[in-house]
Amino acid sequence: MKVAVIGTGYVGLTTGVALAQIGHDVVCIDVDERKIASLRQGKAPFFEPFLADALDANRSRLYYTTSIKEGLVHGDVAFLAVGTPQNPNGSANLTYLHQAFASALSVLEKKASSTLLVNKCTAPVGTTESLSQEIAARGLSDQINLASNPEFLRQGCALSDNLYPNRLVLGGNAPAHETLLRLYAPIINQTFHLPAHLPRPQGLQQVPAFLVNTRTAELAKYAANAFLAMKISFINEVANMADLVEADVIQVADIIGADVRIGRAFLNAGIGYGGSCFPKDTLALRHMADTHGYHFKLLSAVIEVNNAQCIRVVEKLRDALGELRGKTIAVLGLTFKPGTDDLREAPSIPMIYHLLLEGANIRAHDPVAGDQARFVLPHKVKLCAEVQDTLEGADAVFIVTEWPLYQKLTPEVLKEKMRGNVVVDGRNCLDPRLFAGQMRYIGVGRGLKPEPEVPLSAQMVV
């Protein structure tokens, strides 16, 4: 089929590439000329594993343009995949979505054949319905049908999540369901040509597709993110308890996660969740509940716990150093998680501001954030190109993002450059046993006195 995707961000571009991989011809449209210029040169405009290979492998089915008119003219299906950031009051900001929708409509109303317009953006319940009403009011219902197809991909494994999703959510009327089922058939039945670099997960034969109305599709997206955020805040509260009672949160997570009703995923304690989705989507869902007169108490607690978590870990650092004023802290990892160059709502940012406010000097490193970090961090922060350089003269090292290269750090390597001996592992990604007797290791919920004989994860006896 001929497909257009409006917005070439993390969702739009990886969706476009995945649709090309399963055999469709895809036009990727963006108002950002630099992104389109980079794509035309075969370069990915942001870091996402395997994206560069996939762009190259599918180049015969991928086209790029800044012209919505040129991009939409041939499509059977057009996706809206633009940002829906957060308003100051927590609600979703639909400005980009409304702009993209208006541009799409101005082209589609003049087009001879009909088009299924699909909203892939995370948007409040009722958004698709209100856009449909606009289509109807302009007498365009025969030409344009509108669907909601929320996206569940994770940054860092976006292509794999696109090709091997846990489920597809197809929100709309019967003709919309029929078109989307045809479009996604190779994914649903896993019949496409497998990309060499992205092997199919074992046992995956069919992907379930939920055919629902647009309101259910929209709510399901927010509910999924809120539930995952809840798991994280829950385990962070257990970790804070574990610190007080000298238990180990990783072992607790292994034990409770072994119960299939709970599951081990998203039970990694740390400095809290960040990124372009969980923070804004939890706030948007709470705002949506409020506007319907419902107080979503559990969600408020999830947000509150997350806001406090990174400060709690900074407090542990302060306790270990006596005070932060004049101390040098080596911050390792700036992105909101490994595998992405995205700094949106990264916990590293409020954490660094907090440390600066208390008078600390910051040296920081990230393997991929690059120049973007310079734009979001104050100039006082010394950005270093190498880990070793970051550690120079540091009183403490603070791991904020669990990039694999930090997981290899040993006391020997750290002590070579550091002045002090405090290691704050904000992601529980190091083995505390390695530091026993050599450096002061502080994890999140690893107990106040980590003992050398404590295994890294709970041991099973079968």
Ligand X SMILES: O=c1ccn([C@@H]2O[C@H](COP(=O)(O)OP(=O)(O)O[C@H]3O[C@H](CO)[C@@H](O)[C@H](O)[C@H]3O)[C@@H](O)[C@H]2O)c(=O)[nH]1
Positions marked catalytic: 277
- Rule CB under 6 A: is residue 270 a binding residue for ligand X? yes
- Comparing CA positions, the residue from 311, 366, 314 lying closest to residue 343 is 366
Do the Cβ atoms of 16 and 39 come closer than 8 Å? no
Picked from ligand X, ligand NAD, none, the partner binding residue 99 (CB below 5 to 8 A depending on kind) is ligand NAD
221 is in an annotated binding site: yes
- Rule CB under 6 A: is residue 9 a binding residue for ligand NAD? yes
* Amino acid of residue 81: A
Query: Smallest distance, Å, CB 243 to ligand X?
Result: 16
Burial 136-152 (b: 16+ CB within 10 A, else e): eeeebeebbbbbbbbbb
280 is in an annotated binding site: yes
- Rule CB under 6 A: is residue 337 a binding residue for ligand X? yes
Site string for ligand X, 212-251 (x = CB under 6 A): -------------x--x---x-------------------
Q: Which of 50, 296, 336, 406 binds ligand X (CB under 6 A)?
A: 336
Q: Which of 159, 271, 277, 377 binds ligand NAD (CB under 6 A)?
A: 277
Nearest CB to ligand NAD, comparing residues 7 and 411: 7
CA 348 to chain centre: 15
Residue 137 CA to residue 135 CA, distance in Å, equals 6
Residue 451 CA to residue 376 CA, distance in Å, equals 39
Query: Smallest distance, Å, CB 158 to ligand NAD?
Result: 7
Question: Which part of the chain contacts ligand X (CB under 6 A), choosing from 21-29, 65-73, 267-275, 437-445?
Answer: 267-275
- Retrieve residue 249's tokens: 């949160």
344 is in an annotated binding site: yes
φ, ψ of residue 40 to 5 degrees: the values are -65, -25
Q: How many helices (H) and strands (E) does the chain have?
A: 17, 14
Site string for ligand NAD, 72-111 (x = CB under 6 A): ---------xxxx-----------x--xx--x--------
Q: Which of residues 126-165 bind ligand NAD (CB under 6 A)?
A: 151, 153, 155
CB atoms within 10 A of CB 164: 18
CA 245 to chain centre: 32
- Rule CB under 6 A: is residue 84 a binding residue for ligand X? no
- Rule CB under 6 A: is residue 275 a binding residue for ligand X? yes
* Amino acid of residue 233: S
Query: Smallest distance, Å, CB 278 to ligand X?
Result: 5
68's CB contacts (< 8 A; 6+ apart) are 6, 29, 103, 104, 107
- Retrieve residue 129's tokens: 């319905």
Q: Which of residues 148-177 bind ligand X (CB under 6 A)?
A: 151-155
Residue 63 CA to residue 203 CA, distance in Å, equals 33
Query: Smallest distance, Å, CB 166 to ligand X?
Result: 9
Picked from ligand NAD, ligand X, none, the partner binding residue 6 (CB below 5 to 8 A depending on kind) is ligand NAD
Which pairs with CB-CB distance under 8 Å and at least 24 residues apart come from 312-317? Answer: 312/240, 313/271, 313/351, 313/424, 313/426, 313/444, 314/351, 314/354, 314/355, 314/358, 316/424, 316/442, 317/355, 317/396, 317/398, 317/422, 317/424, 317/442
- Rule CB under 6 A: is residue 10 a binding residue for ligand NAD? yes
CB atoms within 10 A of CB 393: 12
Q: Which of 186, 195, 257, 274 binds ligand X (CB under 6 A)?
A: 274
297 is in an annotated binding site: no
Site string for ligand X, 278-307 (x = CB under 6 A): x--x--------------------------
DSSP, collapsed to helix, strand or coil, labels residue 211 as: strand
Do the Cβ atoms of 221 and 119 come closer than 8 Å? no
Which residues in this chain contact ligand X in the complex, by CB under 6 A?
A: 122, 151-155, 225, 228, 232, 266-268, 270, 273-275, 277-278, 281, 336-337
Binding residues, by number, are: 30, 35, 84, 122, 221, 266-270, 274, 280, 337, 344
Binding residues for substrate, by number, are: 221, 266-270, 274, 337
Binding residues for NAD(+), by number, are: 30, 35, 84, 122, 280, 344
